[in-house]
């Protein structure tokens, strides 16, 4: 069975949930093989094997992390040439998609982005894609080269399936072109204890209706009572009430949690584009006509400053 | 410095987008606009040439109607435009688009910077700037909200999932910008009048030295097998807050086992 390469998303070896989802999906179309770029594979290897990685390719040279996107594309291009995989899967993040963009040109291969499912069709890989912000579902194939597919987080639950996890070192000599854009500084903004936005099972988002930076506290408290991540509309980010990484929408993050609670968000098309594949959608808004109610499985027409604290208190009470 | 700005005409963001059932490509028959993200790229280019001198050339690939988007970019203040327009381009995927754009960029003499929006609101793949950089063998600085140029040194702030990176490169380079870059200017009346006289160079696939089989649907590396609209969400329950809205909300969450 041909391998399916899965690019591992990790922070110093802490593997992100989306990678386990991708390994799970890979099994439908071939033999999962993880591609680990950077340091920390010792911390990651057991987890990758537990979720089905027969092979773990490890590219661990210090300089791989010093440049934008291109080095990872070179590692993958080398593996594509050597292993002729059935497909290459990455998480559909901005970074992941750009890696695929470069890899596509290097390997003369087609790219499919924002996949929500994978299936095999007589040897060919078929991707289900969610396009136009989730309004249309298409099934597509790559017709030239190796299928390069960016998969949305939360598309499938990760299923453990123990595998060998054999480590294979990959040596890379970066081309001069890959070193053209050098990262000279990295700034990580504090995100605290909450789960990561794109990975969280529950997301509670605040919009302009929240009213101020301080008031984001009512959204945070509801989120914390549910163990949820906090998101925001662009209006909130533009006003400086919440950091930009929390923006959900067309130009923010795409989230697809089990539960999305939109508080004081009107539901502009650009916001909907980032959250409408959420399984269950709840809205709190004082305007009955707000378009967010068209999407909502459950809506409360009311002042979020009353509804959210009451809901938070009730949740804490029921949890005992 | 001479800057090329890639712009695309897209269906109006606020309209519902759909696929044409016959061609399985985007139905572009409704209202079309200049991709909003590209306005931030144009503004960034104008600010850079205002500070450092030079020219701004708008580059677009698209049908004849894309002239409207090109005119808007020219009326904002760009100096000239290149319009890659050929029936053979219809149905191009991202690799095909980046091929045509790369060929067109290579014809523009003495360019220092290519700036694009970080995504188009119709296909939303965000891969074209990366592909362009790969094809042109230039440094790639993407998802940027701040650009500083000093001589031939370029420094940008690149937005990431958990913060930002500072990235350095030298010109020429390919940059893509996010909407937190700047505040795009509105075309003035003078700008709109002046745009009518600005040169627009129309290029065919043959002018770019490409054969028709390498672009358009014929050259696409992907194919759509089938498409369907997601079934509309069935209308949910909406309640008025009568003083117990929060508790009613938690009752609903409990039915889904979220509490
Ligand atoms: C190129 C481009 C990209 C964009 N990308 C994004 C994106 O990625 N994400 C995004 O979110 N937007 C994006 N937008 C912006 C989008 O068009 C909207 O402007 C934005 O989503 C509005 O945010 P909002 O819903 O918080 O604010 P508003 O539209 O102002 O809505 C606020 C809502 O709060 C309600 N409200 C007010 N007070 C209360 C209260 N006390 N209790 C309850 N409800 C209350 C109001 O009834 C209203 O419905 C983009 C726009 C453009 C042009």
- pLDDT score recorded for residue B221: 96
Q: Which pLDDT tens digit goes with each residue over A71-127?
A: 999 999 999 999 999 999 999 988 999 999 999 999 999 999 989 999 988 778 999
**pLDDT exceeding 70 applies to what percent of chain B?**
99
Classified as helix, coil or strand, A62 is helix
Answer yes or no: is pLDDT of A191 > 80: no
The set of residues, in sequence order, having a beta carbon less than 8 Å from that of A145 and lying 6+ positions away, is A104, A107, A108, A109, A110, B221
- For residue B154, what pLDDT is reported? 98
Please answer yes or no on whether A101 and B134 come within 8 Å at the CB atom: yes
Q: Averaged over A16-39, what is the pLDDT?
A: 96
Residues in A touching B233 (Cβ below 8 Å): 281, 294-295, 297
Contact flag B19-A138 (C-beta cutoff 8 Å): yes
Residue nearest to atom 19 of ligand 1 (CA): A235
Predicted model pTM: 0.91
Confidence of residue A135 (pLDDT cuts 50, 70, 90): confident
Residue that is written with structure tokens 């079309």 in the block: B32
Task: Name the percent of chain B lying above pLDDT 90.
Answer: 81
Query: Tokens 């649907």 correspond to what residue?
Result: B217
> What's the average model confidence in pLDDT over A43-49?
97
pLDDT band at B251, cuts 50/70/90?
very high
Is any atom of ligand 1 closer than 6 Å to the C-beta of A148? no
Q: What is the mean pLDDT of chain A?
A: 94
- What pLDDT was estimated at residue B176? 97
In this structure, what DSSP letter does residue A47 have? Answer: H
Cα B125 to Cα A61, A306, B177: the distances in Å are: 29, 40, 14
Cβ atoms of residues A236 and A210 within 8 Å? yes
Ligand 1 center from residue A30 Cα (angstroms): 43
**How many angstroms separate the alpha carbon of residue A235 from the centre of ligand 1?**
5
Per-residue pLDDT tens digits for A196-232: 898 899 999 999 999 999 999 999 999 999 999 999 9
pLDDT value, residue B237 = 95
When pLDDT is cut at 50, 70 and 90, the band that residue A133 belongs to is low
Residue that wins the pLDDT comparison between B49 and A123: B49
Looking at ligand 1, which atom is closest to the CA of residue A207? 26
Distance of alpha carbon B64 from alpha carbon B59, whole angstroms: 14
Q: Is the pLDDT of residue A276 over 90?
A: no
Predicted local confidence at residue B21, as pLDDT: 74
The per-residue pLDDT for B30 is 77
Separation of CA B9 and ligand 1 centre (Å): 24
pLDDT in tens, B172-181: 999 999 988 9
pLDDT at B11 over 90: no
Treating both helix axes as pointing N-terminal to C-terminal, what angle do B245-255 and A304-319 enclose, rounded to 10 degrees?
50
Mean pLDDT of B194-214: 96
**Helices A94-107 + B94-107 axis angle, to 10:** 80
Q: Where are the alpha helices (DSSP H) in B66-186?
A: 67-76, 94-107, 128-136
């Amino acid at each position: 069975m041909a391998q399916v390469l899965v690019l591992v998303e990790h922070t110093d070896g802490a593997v992100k949930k989306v990678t386990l989802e991708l390994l799970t999906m890979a099994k439908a179309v071939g033999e999962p093989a993880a591609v680990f770029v950077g340091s920390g594979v010792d911390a990651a290897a057991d987890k990758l094997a537990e979720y089905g990685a027969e092979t773990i390719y490890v590219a661990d040279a210090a300089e791989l992390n010093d440049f934008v996107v291109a080095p990872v594309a070179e590692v993958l291009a080398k593996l594509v040439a050597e292993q002729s995989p059935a497909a290459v899967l990455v998480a559909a993040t901005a970074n992941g998609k750009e890696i695929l963009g470069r890899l596509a040109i290097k390997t003369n291969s087609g790219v499919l982005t924002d996949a929500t499912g994978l299936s095999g069709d007589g040897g060919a890989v078929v991707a289900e894609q969610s396009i136009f912000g989730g309004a249309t579902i298409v099934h597509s194939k790559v017709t030239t080269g190796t299928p390069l597919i960016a998969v949305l987080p939360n598309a499938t639950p990760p299923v453990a399936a123990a595998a060998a996890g054999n480590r294979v070192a990959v040596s890379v000599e970066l081309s001069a072109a890959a070193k053209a854009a050098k990262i000279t500084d990295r700034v990580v903004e504090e995100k605290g204890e909450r789960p990561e936005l794109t990975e969280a099972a529950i997301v509670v988002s605040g919009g302009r209706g929240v009213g101020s930076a301080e008031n984001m506290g009512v959204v945070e408290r509801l989120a914390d009572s549910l163990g949820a991540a906090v998101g925001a509309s662009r209006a909130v980010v533009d006003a400086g009430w919440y950091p930009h990484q929390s923006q959900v929408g067309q130009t923010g993050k795409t989230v697809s949690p089990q539960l999305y609670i939109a508080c004081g968000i009107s539901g502009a098309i650009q916001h909907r584009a980032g959250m409408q594949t959420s399984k269950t959608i709840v809205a709190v808004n004082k305007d009955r006509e707000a378009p967010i109610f068209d999407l909502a499985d459950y809506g409360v027409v009311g002042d979020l400053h009353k509804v959210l604290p009451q809901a938070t208190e009730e949740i804490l009470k029921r949890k005992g | 410095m001479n800057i090329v700005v890639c712009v695309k005409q897209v269906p109006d963001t606020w309209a519902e987008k759909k696929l044409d059932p016959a061609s399985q490509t985007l139905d572009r028959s409704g209202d079309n606009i200049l991709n909003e993200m590209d306005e931030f790229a144009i503004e960034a280019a104008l600010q850079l040439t205002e500070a450092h001198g030079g020219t701004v050339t708008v580059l677009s690939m698209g049908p004849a109607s894309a002239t409207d988007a090109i005119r808007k970019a020219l009326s904002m203040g760009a100096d000239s435009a290149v319009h890659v327009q050929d029936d053979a381009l219809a149905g191009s995927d991202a690799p095909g688009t980046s091929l045509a754009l790369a060929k067109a960029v290579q014809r523009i003499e003495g360019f220092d910077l290519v700036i694009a929006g970080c995504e188009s609101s119709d296909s939303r793949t965000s891969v074209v700037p990366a592909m362009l950089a790969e094809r042109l063998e230039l440094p790639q600085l993407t998802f940027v909200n701040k650009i500083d140029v000093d001589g031939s040194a370029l420094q940008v702030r690149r937005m990431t999932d958990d913060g930002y990176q500072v990235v350095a490169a030298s010109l020429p380079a390919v940059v893509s910008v996010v909407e937190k870059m700047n505040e795009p200017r509105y075309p003035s009346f003078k700008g709109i009048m002046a745009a009518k006289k600005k040169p627009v160079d129309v290029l065919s696939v043959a002018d770019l030295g490409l054969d028709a089989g390498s672009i358009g649907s014929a050259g696409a590396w992907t194919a759509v097998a089938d498409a369907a609209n997601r079934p509309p969400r069935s209308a949910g329950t909406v309640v008025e807050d009568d003083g117990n809205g929060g508790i009613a909300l938690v009752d609903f969450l409990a039915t889904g086992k979220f509490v």
